[in-house]
Chains A and B, each alone.
Chain A
Amino acid sequence: MKKRGRGIACMWYPIGFTVAANPSAATVKINEDGTATLLTGTVETGQGALTVLGQIAAEALGIAADDVHVVSGDTDVTPMDTGAIASRTTYVTGNAVKLAAEKARAILFEVAAPMLGVRPEQLEARDRKIQVQSFPQRHLAIGDVALQAQSVKGQPAIGSASWNPPTVPMDPDTGQGKPFNTYVYATQIAEVDVDDETGEVDVLRIIAAHDCGTPINPMLVEGQVEGGISMGLGFALQEEILFDAEGRQINPNLTNYIMPTSMDMPEIEVVFVDNYDPTGPFGAKGVGEPTSVPTAAAILNAIHDAVGVRITSLPATAEKILAAIKSRGTDGLKNIKA
């Protein structure tokens, strides 16, 4: 008979390396046609990093994301980046991109200020214009200012910057320190059906509430969370590398290494715990790895809620669950409603 259960799991996760340097550098140049070019050493692996970095540059320059041409990953021509790891790209590379764009923008402000008869600090970049704050009718097209900067003032609007999250090494005696500059938080709730005659688990629904600061691109964050949940679900119920006595993997193929298909995935509801991290670019932190951290724990708690057994080794296969149910007898049956 199928038993319904719900489980909850919470997590925190650090962004970037533990104390060790993990800098990112970026170069932004503003072109005379009002577009911008961003050079970054990080790579796109499908997570949408280059889209997000282009959005950050665009936001800093007051232009559209489509106006930013992103050149990435070619170490011949791009500035150094530690890489698409440690859930750090939006946060660390994003900060470098924002700083680089602000440096390029500062040149435009210097050039535009006398043209508009104000001080540079009275200017803002918005709607593809350099304009006087609170007086948007006094403006110049951003491309015209970029042209003026390079052709008349002899100072092309180019900015380069790097950023490395500030940390404090941990004291070996006291354990005190600041290993990371920021953290993200999440809670996931799983709803499952467990068949107490076969041990089989159906994950029906997962609600995933994630704090990643201010999401720069909510749709891409959803994609990260949904993908992370599929990895967490495989980790919880299916995926296991099996070795023989000589240490050879006996399932080095997708026939016997079982990972989730579209049939295994639950309905997923992603909730943003929207907030603002003042140390991140436009309030953003990170989201990549944390998405799969609480999933297995939530599913295993839900299994416990459903049939009263604690599975303490992954994956929680039907065989393990059924053996636990049989050895449990009827003592541990749940009698308290969640």
Chain B
Amino acid sequence: MIDISLTVNGGRHELSVSPETTLLGLLRNQLGLTGAKLGCDVGDCGACTVIIDGRSVNACLMLAAQADGCSVLTIEGLATREQLHPIQQAFEVHASLQCGFCGPGIILSAKALLDGNPDPSRQDVREGLSGNLCRCTGYAKMIEAVLQAACVMRGETEDVDGKSKAGS
């Protein structure tokens, strides 16, 4: 077993993990954070995407021990008790998700994109979401939502209600 310490959604954890435990396994089975999904388990689908020290990663491809000393953000840590994150709000307003299985990963990929590039083009958003597969939506309403959320996060519009000022 390997002793690690890491921060997950702002909370400090001291844990003992087996060498083969993935970060996804740690999050889901030891910490009970089931927002990151186990999809393909080989890094193709992106349903397990989390943000580690500002970078989006496939949690199924990272060993838990590699996350020692890191700060991890999962979908559970994105909203506050009072308010959804602007990306989540925009996804709700635009009906961007259907079955929702890809949602936590897509939203965190979008957050990693917008944290690094607050004013992305439509093509930037397409590239930012390209590691996340969605079988239901055709991605169209997700792309609209990310552009809209970017607008809100830049402070150009108060909220995400109504049709996008930036998109369409």
Given A223-B141, A253-B40, A262-B126, answer yes or no on A46-B136 (Cβ-Cβ < 8 Å).
yes
Residue of A nearest to B109 (CB): A262
Once the chains are docked, how many angstroms separate the CA of A189 from the CA of B89?
Answer: 33
Residue of B nearest to A229 (CB): B138
B129, A262: Cβ atoms under 8 Å? yes
State the Cβ distance, A54 to closest chain B Cβ, in Å.
Answer: 15
Residue of B nearest to A206 (CB): B138
- Stretch among B1-9, B73-81, B92-100 lining the A interface: B92-100
B44, A227: Cβ atoms under 8 Å? no
B137, A226: Cβ atoms under 8 Å? yes
Which of B40, B45, B95 has the most CB atoms of chain A within a 10 A radius of its CB?
A: B95
B133 within 8 Å of A (CB atoms): yes
State the Cβ distance, A257 to closest chain B Cβ, in Å.
Answer: 9
B142 within 8 Å of A (CB atoms): yes
Contact with B along A266-298 (1 / 0, CB 8 A): 001000000000000000000000000000000
Given A253-B44, A255-B42, A259-B133, answer yes or no on A268-B127 (Cβ-Cβ < 8 Å).
no
Once the chains are docked, how many angstroms separate the CA of A45 from the CA of B100?
Answer: 9
Once the chains are docked, how many angstroms separate the CA of A231 from the CA of B134?
Answer: 10
Residue of A nearest to B143 (CB): A262
Pick from B44, B95, B99, B132: contact of A45, CB under 8 Å: B99
Closest 7 CB pairs of A and B: A46-B98, A230-B138, A46-B99, A226-B138, A254-B44, A226-B140, A262-B129
Pick from B98, B139, B140, B142: contact of A47, CB under 8 Å: B98
Once the chains are docked, how many angstroms separate the CA of A254 from the CA of B127?
Answer: 18
Interface residues of A (CB under 8 A from B): 45-48, 219-220, 222-223, 226-231, 253-255, 259-263, 265, 268
Q: How many A-B residue pairs have CB under 8 A?
A: 75
Contact with A along B118-146 (1 / 0, CB 8 A): 00000001110111111111111111000
Pick from A48, A228, A255, A261: contact of B95, CB under 8 Å: A48
Pick from B127, B132, B140: contact of A265, CB under 8 Å: B140
A227, B127: Cβ atoms under 8 Å? no
B97, A46: Cβ atoms under 8 Å? yes
Once the chains are docked, how many angstroms separate the CA of A228 from the CA of B141?
Answer: 13
Question: Within 8 Å CB of A260, what residues of B?
Answer: 138
Residue of B nearest to A232 (CB): B138
Question: Within 8 Å CB of A47, what residues of B?
Answer: 98
Secondary structure at the A interface, as helix, strand, loop or mixed, is loop
B139, A262: Cβ atoms under 8 Å? yes
State the Cβ distance, B141 to closest chain A Cβ, in Å.
Answer: 6
State the Cβ distance, A114 to closest chain B Cβ, in Å.
Answer: 44
Which of A223, A228, A268 has the most CB atoms of chain B within a 10 A radius of its CB?
A: A223
Question: Within 8 Å CB of B133, what residues of A?
Answer: 254, 259, 261
Pick from B97, B129, B140: contact of A268, CB under 8 Å: B140
Once the chains are docked, how many angstroms separate the CA of A259 from the CA of B44?
Answer: 11
Pick from A46, A228, A265: contact of B139, CB under 8 Å: A265
Residue of A nearest to B43 (CB): A255
Residue of B nearest to A233 (CB): B138
Question: Within 8 Å CB of A223, what residues of B?
Answer: 95, 98, 136-137, 141
Interface residues of B in 29-70 (CB under 8 A from A): 40, 42, 44-45
A226, B44: Cβ atoms under 8 Å? no
State the Cβ distance, B123 to closest chain A Cβ, in Å.
Answer: 9
B99, A268: Cβ atoms under 8 Å? no
A255, B44: Cβ atoms under 8 Å? yes
Given A226-B137, A227-B137, answer yes or no on A262-B130 (Cβ-Cβ < 8 Å).
yes
A263, B126: Cβ atoms under 8 Å? yes
Given contacts A46-B136, A227-B138, A261-B139, 11 further A-B contacts (CB under 8 A): A45-B98, A46-B98, A48-B95, A222-B140, A226-B137, A254-B45, A255-B44, A261-B130, A262-B134, A262-B142, A265-B138
Once the chains are docked, how many angstroms separate the CA of A222 from the CA of B144?
Answer: 13
Once the chains are docked, how many angstroms separate the CA of A47 from the CA of B137?
Answer: 9
A46, B100: Cβ atoms under 8 Å? yes
Pick from B45, B98, B131, B132: contact of A227, CB under 8 Å: B98
Question: Within 8 Å CB of B98, what residues of A?
Answer: 45-48, 223, 227
Question: Within 8 Å CB of A268, what residues of B?
Answer: 138, 140
Pick from B97, B99, B137: contact of A230, CB under 8 Å: B137
Once the chains are docked, how many angstroms separate the CA of A46 from the CA of B140?
Answer: 15
State the Cβ distance, A160 to closest chain B Cβ, in Å.
Answer: 30
